[in-house]
Amino acid sequence: MRFLKTLVVGLLCLVVLLVGILFTIHNTEKVAIDLVFFQLPEASLSVWLIATFVLGGFMGVLLSVMTVLMLRTRLGSARRKIVSTQKELDQLRVSSLKDAT
């Protein structure tokens, strides 16, 4: 089963690579990107589009990692609060049993 998964992932990577190469070959027109405050140098359209796609992917991963870390921190805080509340509840139960005897 692991071999099949590796094979499928390898084939998928190969297909993405081939599509990227074909995309680069067919989009060779030079363009300059104007970003209001400054202008990026001329490069082929495919380079700009692929760079934008890769940058967007990295930013998505970065934001996801930050969100997961924030949620783990909140989860740890909630677990500590639960433990503290559980200890307090246990102490109250013990003290009420001592008062009853």
DSSP secondary structure letters along 26-82: H---EE--EETTEEPPPEEHHHHHHHHHHHHHHHHHHHHHHHHHHHHHHHHHHHHHH
| 15 pLDDT more than 80 | yes
Supply the pLDDT for residue 72: 98
Supply the pLDDT for residue 99: 72
Provide the whole-model pTM.
0.65
Q: Taking the domains of the chain in order of start, what are their residue ranges?
A: 2-94
Sorting pLDDT into bands at 50, 70 and 90, what band is 23? Answer: confident
Mean pLDDT (whole number) for 1-9? 91
Sorting pLDDT into bands at 50, 70 and 90, what band is 24? Answer: confident
